[in-house]
Amino acid sequence: MAALLGCIADDFTGGTDLAGMLVKTGMRTVQLIGVPDGPPPDDADAVVIALKSRTSPAEDAVAESLAAFRWLQQAGCRQFYFKYCSTFDSTPCGNIGPVAEALMQALDTDFTIACPAFPANGRTLYKGHLFVGDGLLSESGMRNHPLTPMTDANLVRVLQQQAQRKVGLVDYATVSRGHAAIRERFTALRQLGHGLAIVDALSNADLDAIGAACADLPLVTGGSGIALGLPQNFRRSGLLASNAVADALPKTGGLRAVISGSCSVATQKQVEVMRASHPAFSIDPLRLARGEDLVSAALEWAGSRMAQQPILIYATATPDAVRQVQGELGVEQASQLVEQTLSMIARGLVQAGVGQMIVAGGETSGAVVKALGVMGLRIGPEIDPGVPWTSTLHDDGTQPLALALKSGNFGSADFFLKAWSTLP
Ligand SMILES: Nc1ncnc2c1ncn2[C@@H]1O[C@H](COP(=O)(O)OP(=O)(O)O)[C@@H](O)[C@H]1O
Ligand SMILES: O=C(O)[C@@H](O)C(=O)COP(=O)(O)O
């Protein structure tokens, strides 16, 4: 049977976050890296196409997202999902609005929602304002993000700056009254000429109600949270089995390594914790810019060390250090140098016997996964909310690798240490 839900994720960690959420709710889910050439898998209830488009210019993000959409449409999907970050990460030019509107046009629909809420990870929305933990988005570590600094927590305003259509709000007073009230508000907003609506949400119960209200929307957009409520719609219409077990992974072996190019607050703590007890190698972008071969140096350093215990290779740095590097090299060049270096190191590590790897950072994961020639990911058990283990799929017979793509801001402080124990 054809897949039911067709998803387009704007980065690779976001893709596994969404795919993990769908798997937890009993949908058999496959994540594909980029738009595939071949036919769709015939045993998936949901397909996530992961792009690396979050920081691309809007025209490129739109073109890639439309190509993914067409493939998913041909695969027979009945509803479409545009997944972006739970902290609404977008560059100052912003491509969440343009991609959402291009997909609306392709689907010939005049209304969709935008809801990045993910309460299990502390992302809640109230009166259109996004909170990260106890504070506003604009007061969180996201204000210092190297590529997508978020300095305004009012998402109605942020999305309106990126969109042509009018952006409205489904506020908490409505959401707390349940799915029928939410649906009525959709109708009212439509009649008032709004094409997009930010939706408040504080809890998983709110996400269930929002999901139910979205049953007839051809397109939903959001973080991974609102995926919680969608599978139930397919069950109600008899399209999805009620108790599918969807997170089985093959056993893998091999050496263990962590690659981190994320400078987010959670990753900084995780790097600090791992460095205290495990071998760690730091990548300095200014040394890279001077032409030093840190790929060979890191691989040589890793050599015998990783036979003993998991190793860490990281470019993770404080906001001040990142600002200094970006001041000298420029934002683009700094991130490209780091991403390219980490992905070449990842490839070298796999060639040297690493079979289980954690990659921290969305852009970083995109670069690494591409360098490893991964075609798709099977989704396995969750390590922490939003981060599942996955197993790589290759089209050239390469052995699968156990890979965890960790979003910058997800995971407990000991994530890099404890994750191995949840591997099958
Ligand atoms: N020390 C550094 N200086 C400048 N840029 C860096 C440094 N370390 C990492 N970066 C870049 O910062 C970006 C972090 O983004 P990403 O990998 O998406 O992490 P996150 O998931 O935390 O957002 C990447 O492009 C990475 O190459
Ligand atoms: O929704 C989320 O927060 C994540 O799934 C996500 O997209 C994180 O992106 P990065 O922080 O760039 O890893």
Q: Give the pLDDT score at 185.
A: 98
- Pull the structure tokens for residue 383: 């390590």
CA-wise closest residue to 85 among 128, 115, 46, 63:
115
Whole-number Å distance, alpha carbon 251 to ligand 1 midpoint, is: 31
Could you tell me how far CA 134 lies from the centroid of its own chain?
22
Which distant-in-sequence residues (6+ apart) come within 8 Å of 328 by Cβ? 286, 289
CA distance 133 to 173: 21
pTM: 0.94
Select the CATH number that applies to the domain covering 255-422 from these four: 3.60.15.10, 3.40.980.20, 3.50.50.60, 3.40.640.10: 3.40.980.20
Q: For a ligand 1 pocket test, name from 142, 258, 335, 365 the mutation site with the most ligand atoms within 8 angstroms of its C-beta.
A: 335
Whole-number Å distance, alpha carbon 187 to ligand 2 midpoint, is: 31
Q: For a ligand 2 pocket test, name from 24, 87, 383 the mutation site with the most ligand atoms within 8 angstroms of its C-beta.
A: 87
Shortest-distance Cα residue to atom 2 of ligand 1: 322
Q: Give the pLDDT score at 245.
A: 65
Per residue, what are the HEC states of the chain?
CCCCEEEEECCHHHHHHHHHHHHHCCCCEEEEECCCCCCCCCCCCEEEEECCCCCCCHHHHHHHHHHHHHHHHHCCCCEEEEECCCCCCCCCCCCHHHHHHHHHHHHCCCCEEEECCEHHHCEEEECCEEEECCEEHHHCHHHHCCCCCCCCCEHHHHHHHHCCCEEEEECHHHHCCCHHHHHHHHHHHHHCCEEEEEECECCHHHHHHHHHHCCCCCEEEECCHHHHHCHHHHHHCCCCCCCCCCCCCCCCCCEEEEEECCCCHHHHHHHHHHHCCCCEEECCHHHHHCCCCHHHHHHHHHHHHHHHCCEEEECCCCHHHHHHHHHHHCHHHHHHHHHHHHHHHHHHHHHCCEEEEEEECHHHHHHHHHHCCCCEEEEEEEEECCEEEEEEECCCCCCCCEEEEECCCCCCCCHHHHHHHHCC
Q: For a ligand 1 pocket test, name from 364, 365, 409 the mutation site with the most ligand atoms within 8 angstroms of its C-beta.
A: 364
ipTM surpasses 0.90? yes
In degrees to the nearest 10, what's the CA dihedral of 12, 14, 17, 22? -100
Whole-number Å distance, alpha carbon 262 to ligand 1 midpoint, is: 5
Ligand whose nearest atom lies closest to the CA of 338: 1
Ligand whose nearest atom lies closest to the CA of 335: 1
Helix axes 362-371, 331-351, angle to 10 degrees: 50
Shortest-distance Cα residue to atom 3 of ligand 1: 322
Domain ranges of the chain: 5-236, 255-422
Index of the ligand 1 atom closest to the CA of residue 263: 22
> Do the domains at 5-236 and 255-422 have one common CATH topology?
no
CA distance 206 to 177: 9
Q: For a ligand 2 pocket test, name from 118, 147, 410, 415 the mutation site with the most ligand atoms within 8 angstroms of its C-beta.
A: 410
Cβ of 206 less than 6 Å from ligand 2: no
Residues in contact with ligand 1 (CB, 6 Å cut-off): 145-147, 261-264, 267, 285, 315, 317, 321-322, 325-326, 334-335, 338-339, 361-364, 407-408
Q: Give the pLDDT score at 242.
A: 67
CA distance 164 to 109: 14
Index of the ligand 2 atom closest to the CA of residue 118: 1
CA distance 184 to 172: 14
N-to-C CA span, the chain: 28
Q: Under CATH, domain 5-236 is a member of which superfamily? A: Putative sugar-binding, N-terminal domain (3.40.50.10840)
Ligand whose nearest atom lies closest to the CA of 88: 2
Each of the 424 residues of the chain gets a pLDDT tens digit; together they read 688 999 999 999 999 999 999 999 889 899 999 999 887 777 789 999 999 999 999 999 999 999 999 999 999 999 999 999 999 999 878 899 999 999 999 999 999 999 999 999 999 999 999 999 999 999 998 998 888 899 999 999 999 999 999 999 999 999 999 999 999 999 999 999 999 999 999 999 999 999 999 999 999 999 999 999 999 999 998 888 866 666 778 888 899 999 999 999 999 999 999 999 999 999 999 999 999 999 999 999 999 899 999 999 999 999 999 999 999 999 999 999 999 999 999 999 999 999 999 999 999 999 999 999 999 999 998 999 999 999 999 888 888 999 999 999 999 999 999 999 999 7
Ligand whose nearest atom lies closest to the CA of 265: 1
Q: Give the pLDDT score at 267.
A: 97
Q: For a ligand 2 pocket test, name from 123, 264, 358, 409 the mutation site with the most ligand atoms within 8 angstroms of its C-beta.
A: 409
Cβ of 361 less than 6 Å from ligand 2: yes
Index of the ligand 2 atom closest to the CA of residue 361: 13
Cβ of 226 less than 6 Å from ligand 2: no
CA distance 340 to 337: 5
